[in-house]
Amino acid sequence: MSASPAADATLRSVQFRREREGTWRQLEALLARVHDKGLGGLSAEELATLPHLYRATLSSLSVARAISLDRALVEYLDSLVARAYVVVYGSRERARRRIGEFLGWRFPAAVRAARWHLLLSLLFTLAGAVIAFEMVTRDSDTYYLFVEPSLAQGRDPSASTSELRAQLYDEHDFDHGLTHFASKLFSNNSRVAIMAFALGFLAGLPTVFLLLYNGLMLGAFAALYDGRGLSLDLWGWLLPHGVTELLAVILCGAAGFLLAHALVFPGAEPRLDALRRRGRQAAEIVLGAVAMMFVAGLIEGIFRQTVTSLTVRYAVAGGSALWWLVYRGGFGRARVRREGLPWR
């Protein structure tokens, strides 16, 4: 340093700032560019220096807190570090890799870790189905209790057997109306599924209601067709997409129960910690379920209306059931054994 008497008297904190300020300014400039253009605006080299600059500035902050009484400096470093922190610890993996991770192990692992919630969700759906089936078989008028006219679209006890049958095998052209139908189904289903999850926040009671209601409709349909000896045809119509779609709804119900579980029985964890851990797991289940519904919507809107062979329909249904079983049962097990569950 140039040795004027004043320089000798320079405060340590002033000296400290003079030495480190370059690093801070560099970090600041990088952050400004990330803010304007995103991480893509940085070169590979700059991207690699970012964490180093962040750590260096972080250490400056703790030194400044220990030795400097310049409030402006400490506040500046505090903000700079906070700003760098959100970039460095914001999510940064590439999208493709993330999707691969999700499908490859996180989603099946999330579902496996929620197997009891899944079972509960399945039981409520089945309970609804059995109740409605029994009631409608005994008294066909109760059908109207479970299925709204807008959903039934003429498929009710007043229809003749041949009408009901025609509905199942009605061949449509691959026309505009159908694509609309498919996207409408997807939109409705995903909304209901996400609600089943979100309503878990109200201790899971509305989730129970949604699942039961879903089961009741299913049971009522089954009873109606069973009464006319059309069971085999109905399931052939319903299951190719229904395997995937029903599973997705049940998964979302399980996600809702995960939230309810964390809220009502947090166990040894603080309630908010439990909610946060299970909430993340549940969110991934819901994301996967929405993707499943998209697939189901495609099958329902396009495949079902163009393929009328019962054998092919059952083959698709059986195939998708087998696939989901293998996928849920097997994918990502080794990874979970190695690393444990990713939600903490």
Partner 1 sequence: MAVAGYLDRRGDGARRREIVTPEGIPIQFTLASIGERATALVIDLLIIAAVVIGVVIVASLAAPGADGWVGALALLLVTLLRHFYFAYFEIRGHGATPGKRAAGIRVIDARGGSLEASAILARNLVRELELWMPMTFIVASSLVWPDAPAWMWVVATAWLVLVSLLPLFNKDNLRVGDLIGGTLVVVQPRVQLRADLADAAARAAPVGAPAAAPGAAPGGVGGAVAAARAAAAPRYAFTETQLDVYGVYELQVLEGLLRGEAAGDAGAVQAVAEKIRAKVHYAETVRPGDDERFLRDFYTALRAHLEQRLLFGKRRADKHDR
Nearest to 74 by CA among 57, 89, 50: 57
User: Does position 201 bind partner 1 by CB under 8 A?
Assistant: yes
Query: Cα–chain-centroid distance for residue 330?
Result: 20
Site for partner 1 in 239-268 (CB under 8 A): 259
Site for partner 1 in 83-102 (CB under 8 A): 83, 85-87, 89-91, 98
Query: Measured from the CB of residue 225, what is the shortest distance to partner 1 in angstroms?
Result: 26
* Contact region with partner 1 (CB under 8 A), list: 30-38, 218-226, 235-243, 314-322: 30-38
User: Does position 49 bind partner 1 by CB under 8 A?
Assistant: no
CB closer to partner 1 out of 176 and 337: 176
Site for partner 1 in 274-313 (CB under 8 A): 275-276, 279-284, 286-287, 290
User: Does position 52 bind partner 1 by CB under 8 A?
Assistant: no
Binding mask 119-158 toward partner 1 (x if CB under 8 A, else -) reads: -------------------------------x--------
CB closer to partner 1 out of 109 and 223: 109
Please report, for residues 50, 129, 168, the alpha-carbon distance to residue 248 in angstroms, rounded to integers and kept in the order given. 41, 17, 23
* Contact region with partner 1 (CB under 8 A), list: 56-64, 135-143, 161-169, 221-229: 56-64
Q: With beta carbons less than 8 A apart as the criterion, state whether 205 and 124 touch.
A: no
Site for partner 1 in 161-180 (CB under 8 A): 175-180
CB closer to partner 1 out of 90 and 267: 90
Nearest to 258 by CA among 191, 210, 204: 204
Nearest to 284 by CA among 325, 338, 343: 343
Return the residue of 33, 37, 38, 141 that touches partner 1, per CB under 8 A. 38
Question: How far apart (Å, rounded) are the C-alpha atoms in residues 167 and 234?
Answer: 10
Residues 273-311 as b/e (b if ≥16 CB within 10 A, e otherwise) read ebbebbbebbbbbbbbbbbbbbebbbbbbbebbebeeee
CB closer to partner 1 out of 190 and 235: 190
Largest pairwise CA distance in the chain? 107
Q: Label residue 20 exposed, middle or buried (CB < 10 Å: 0-12, 13-18, 19+).
A: middle
